[in-house]
Amino acid sequence: IGRKNWLFSQTPRGAQASAIIYSIIETAKENHLHPFPYLTYLFETLPQQQEDASLDEWLPWSTQLPERCRIPVQS
């Protein structure tokens, strides 16, 4: 996914930002989350948190994430 997209990173900081976003999205997928609702949830809730708050509840493997972010597990 990143191979051709790296061509559009015009600066090292842009490439680093792209790598961070790709990592978050791929980690969300591996933890059975819908990437778009998960990112929306992060962008809506994280700015309202205290600076010293623990980030554990927003990590992709957290059990405290809302159900709208989760992909139903099929048995």
Please write down the HEC assignment for all residues of 3-22: HHHHHHCCCHHHHHHHHHHH
Q: What is the pLDDT of residues 7-62, one digit of tens each?
A: 667 888 888 888 888 899 999 999 999 999 999 999 999 999 888 878 899 999 99
What is the Cα–Cα distance from 24 to 19, expressed in whole angstroms? 9
With cut-offs at 50, 70 and 90, classify the pLDDT of residue 1: low
What is the Cα–Cα distance from 35 to 43, expressed in whole angstroms? 12
The domains of the chain are located at 1-47+55-74
Token duo for residue 41: 């949830």
Say what the pLDDT of residue 25 is.
93
